[in-house]
Amino acid sequence: MSSADESRQVKVIGELRTFIKKALSDPTLAGKCMEIARRLKNEPDADTKIAAEISAKTNVRIPEKLSQADKMFIEIIHEVLEDESALY
């Protein structure tokens, strides 16, 4: 693994650690994020809108230009939504 890859990996891990701390300190965070995602999932440019609203309405800050960790977070949200729809 190159030092650039290692550096990116360290950054992603750091961002994910910060998010996990926020999620653990606010038990309502997951519900808020999923409610936002459910409402916006079918909108044009849904990922951008979901990220912007999560940033505006929670203590999670997602920049306009999504980092690798931010993209992973949005991907996971979509996976959870798919799992929910599979249950019904």
pLDDT of residue 88: 66
Q: Which residues contact 81 (CB under 8 A, 6 or more apart)?
A: 34, 37, 38, 41
What DSSP string describes 63-78?
-SS--HHHHHHHHHHH
Q: Could you give the CA distance from residue 67 to residue 18 in angstroms, rounded to a whole number?
A: 14
CA pseudo-torsion sign 24, 27, 30, 36: negative
Enter the pTM of the model: 0.83
pLDDT tens for each residue of 3-62: 888 888 999 899 889 888 988 899 999 999 999 999 999 999 999 999 999 999 999 999
Domain ranges of the chain: 3-87
